[in-house]
């Protein structure tokens, strides 16, 4: 075989590996969003109270966000493909158990287990991706596309869950993550390279326990603000407990010989802004789906199917912008593209705040412009920020970078979502989210 032929084979293998890993990453976020639309039907069928539904909707995200840093350390220490395989086995088993649930306990346990599997899969997938694309330039291009996969997964989850639950049953929404996990387990040995473990690295169990407990407690406190006032014990106790544990984690990491999260890794100015951009973009898209889904179904009396169809332009704009992000980053740089994306997303949120929640305006005039601008900005800002967040990271810490990036994506929106919804108005919440995006865009621009 000629050198050119060998290069072609290598490129084809890289593409196949990226499609597999990217499909898994998108499915993790699909699973997070998949029960949002059919949640009322789940409550009716299983006889659940509002508090049960809130806990059920948050369970996956709680273990996902809480275990991500430890999952990143396991991926670095044990090898990316081994950690990925272990996570997929747990994720597939939980996805198979969830649709068989006859009550709250089984379904809740399955969602917790799905989140634990996802927390191992997400950083492991990024560790394997670094091996698939060894050169910094190729890895940067891959990360530019990788950054938009999570929003694509969330969009697919919101769109398809409404269709599936209407035509079949909410139980069939779990068929998607199960099928993807089984396919990935079958294809991974053939398509993905084995990654060398870093046996010389400790697991830092004290740091892992403090981080997991702190993030989980704080997230639980923020989720509780939906049904309890901020001054109640149900909110204050977990929030303060989580804050104390996270402060203890930060202190322990500064003294540890091989910390789970080195403080210098997180305090890099460019990385902080990139993680803020990821958190805000994730919050903006999640808030838009929640606010507009409730508005369309409760205020305009739209069906689940029609509500899902309303977000089709969102999905189209997201895919188109995601495809354009890579070439734009190559031409203008990740910081410029991130700043421009944040500004565009802020403009989309401003339009939705001004016209999107007005029941007297038509869909084409009131909703459509914002539903195109927001995903266009979110996809490009995610892509640029993913490149910035992983730029210059040593290969032995790729799992850590994946854990931090996904933690910002999961925990950040939980914090911002709770804070913004306390404004008490759909329009003012969207406007505040847009202002936050614009502020980070300006800060990103000034670091150039």
Buried b (16+ CB within 10 A) or exposed e, 307-340: bbebbebbbebbeebbeebbebbeeeebbbbbbb
Is 1 inside a domain boundary?
no
- CA dihedral 287→288→294→299, nearest 10 degrees, is 130
Higher pLDDT, 14 or 219: 14
Do 44 and 120 lie in one domain? The reply is yes
Q: Which of 4-18, 92-106, 203-217, 258-272 has the lowest mean pLDDT?
A: 4-18
* % of the chain residues with pLDDT over 90: 9
Residue 157 has pLDDT above 80, yes or no: no
pLDDT at res. 1: 38
**Extended beta strands in 260-414, E state:** none
pLDDT at res. 5: 37
The answer to whether the beta carbons of residues 147 and 382 sit under 8 Å apart is: yes
Give, for 192, the enclosing helix (H) or strand (E).
Answer: none
| Domain stop point among 259, 291, 321 | 259
Is 2 inside a domain boundary?
no
Helix (H, G, I), strand (E, B) or coil at 169: coil
| Domain stop point among 224, 243, 259 | 259
Do 295 and 254 lie in one domain? The reply is no
Is 235 inside a domain boundary?
yes
Of the pLDDT bands very low, low, confident and very high (cuts 50, 70, 90), residue 260 is confident
Residue 216 has pLDDT above 90, yes or no: no
Do 130 and 173 lie in one domain? The reply is yes
Q: Which of 100-109, 311-320, 352-361, 374-383 has the lowest mean pLDDT?
A: 352-361
Do 180 and 70 lie in one domain? The reply is yes
Is 194 inside a domain boundary?
no
Is 367 inside a domain boundary?
yes
Do 96 and 213 lie in one domain? The reply is no
Do 286 and 252 lie in one domain? The reply is no
* Residue-number span of the structural domain to which 228 is assigned: 205-259
Residue 108 has pLDDT above 60, yes or no: yes
Do 272 and 360 lie in one domain? The reply is yes
The answer to whether the beta carbons of residues 351 and 368 sit under 8 Å apart is: no
Longest alpha-carbon distance in the chain: 70
Q: Residue 152's domain is classified under what CATH number? A: 1.20.1250.20
Is 192 inside a domain boundary?
no
Do 222 and 330 lie in one domain? The reply is no
Do 254 and 264 lie in one domain? The reply is no
CA distance 186 to 24: 13
| Domain stop point among 225, 243, 259 | 259
pTM of the model: 0.76
Is 313 inside a domain boundary?
yes
Is 356 inside a domain boundary?
yes
Taking Cα atoms as reference points, which of 106, 61, 52, 67 lies closest to residue 226? 52
pLDDT at res. 428: 53
* % of the chain residues with pLDDT over 70: 83
- DSSP code per residue over 52-86: HHHHHHHHHHHHHHHHHHHHHHHHHHH-HHHHHHH
Residue 425 has pLDDT above 80, yes or no: no
Number of domains in the chain: 2
Do 64 and 179 lie in one domain? The reply is yes
Do 215 and 148 lie in one domain? The reply is no
Helix (H, G, I), strand (E, B) or coil at 114: helix
Q: Quote helix, strand, coil % in the chain, to nearest 5.
A: 85, 0, 15
Residues 183-208 have pLDDT tens digits of 999 999 888 887 766 666 666 777 77
Do 295 and 387 lie in one domain? The reply is yes
Residue 274 has pLDDT above 70, yes or no: yes
């Amino acid at each position: 075989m000629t050198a050119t032929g060998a290069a072609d084979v290598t490129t084809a293998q890289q593409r196949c590996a990226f499609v597999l890993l990217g499909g898994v990453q998108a499915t993790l976020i699909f699973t997070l969003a998949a029960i949002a639309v059919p949640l009322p039907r789940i409550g009716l069928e299983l006889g659940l109270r509002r508090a049960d539904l809130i806990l059920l909707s948050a369970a996956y995200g709680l273990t996902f966000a809480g275990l991500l840093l430890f999952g990143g350390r396991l991926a670095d220490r044990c090898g990316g493909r081994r950690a990925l395989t272990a996570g997929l086995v747990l994720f597939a088993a939980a996805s198979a158990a969830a649709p068989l649930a006859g009550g709250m306990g089984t379904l809740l346990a399955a969602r917790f287990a799905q989140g634990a599997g996802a927390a191992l899969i997400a950083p492991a997938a990024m560790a394997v991706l670094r091996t698939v694309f060894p050169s910094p330039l190729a890895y940067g291009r891959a990360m530019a596309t990788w950054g938009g996969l999570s929003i694509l997964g969330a969009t697919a989850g919101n769109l398809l869950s409404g269709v599936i639950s209407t035509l079949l049953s909410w139980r069939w929404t779990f068929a998607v993550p199960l099928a993807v996990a089984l396919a990935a387990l079958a294809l991974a040995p053939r398509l993905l390279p084995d990654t060398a473990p870093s046996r010389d690295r400790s697991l830092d169990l004290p740091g892992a326990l403090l981080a997991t407990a702190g993030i989980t407690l704080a997230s639980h406190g923020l989720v509780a603000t939906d049904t309890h006032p901020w001054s109640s014990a149900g909110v204050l106790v977990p929030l303060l407990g989580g804050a104390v544990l996270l402060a203890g984690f930060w202190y322990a990491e500064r003294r540890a010989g091989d910390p789970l999260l080195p403080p210098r890794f997180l305090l890099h100015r460019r990385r902080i802004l990139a993680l803020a951009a990821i958190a805000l973009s994730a919050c903006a898209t999640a808030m838009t789906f929640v606010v507009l889904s409730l508005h369309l179904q409760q205020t305009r009396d739209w069906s689940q199917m029609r509500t899902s169809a309303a977000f089709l332009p969102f999905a189209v704009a997201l895919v188109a912008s995601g495809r354009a992000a890579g070439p734009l980053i190559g031409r203008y740089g990740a910081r410029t593209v991130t700043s421009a994306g944040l500004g565009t997303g802020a403009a989309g949120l401003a339009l939705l705040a001004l016209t999107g929640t007005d029941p007297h305006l038509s869909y084409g005039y009131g909703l459509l412009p914002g539903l195109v601008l927001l995903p266009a900005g979110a996809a490009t800002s995610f892509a640029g920020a993913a490149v910035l967040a992983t730029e210059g990271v040593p290969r032995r810490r790729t799992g850590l970078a994946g854990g931090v990036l996904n933690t910002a994506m999961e925990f950040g929106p939980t914090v911002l979502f709770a804070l913004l919804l306390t404004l008490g108005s759909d329009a003012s919440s969207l406007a505040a989210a847009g202002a936050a995006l614009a502020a980070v865009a300006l800060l990103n621009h000034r670091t150039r």
